Amino acid sequence: MMLIPELYTAEQIGFTELSCQFLVRYNSAHPIYAGHFPGKPVTPGVCLIQAATELLGTATGTTLRLTGARHIKFLQMHTPEKELRFELSWLEEANRLRGRVSIFQDENCMAKIDAHFERL
């Protein structure tokens, strides 16, 4: 379930037992970009984190909630006209997942996330 409807579309482009990749296209006409920032839209970092959580949930077949992060590092800003590649991997830890996400625009790493998620 998408928390922010119609913000992005995602296409799964690779999958293994504990990893997957998605190609994500953001909707530059979405109202979120009107305030962030008018005339020069930038995808809010929290929206990238939410998309990573949702995509990890899709890959693992469950709804997830972020419960803690070892690190979240934004390396570059994302403008919505550029598509992103989310590379996700995960490990089962008791009743939760440890997920690692790298977000790329072409070959440029835009963000890295290492976090814990619980199943809902």
Q: Which residue ranges make up each domain of the chain?
A: 46-77+85-119
| Residue 49 confidence (pLDDT) above 90 | yes
Is the pTM above the cut of 0.85? Answer: yes
Contact 20, 59 (CB under 8 A): yes
Q: Is the pLDDT of residue 117 over 70?
A: yes
User: What band does 1 get if pLDDT is binned at 50, 70 and 90?
Assistant: low
- In this prediction, residue 35 has a pLDDT band, given cuts at 50, 70 and 90, of confident
Distance between CA atoms of 56 and 65, rounded to whole angstroms? 10
Rounded to an integer, the average pLDDT of 1-12 is 91
Q: What number is the average pLDDT over the span 41-54? A: 96
Separation CA 33–CA 43 (nearest Å): 7
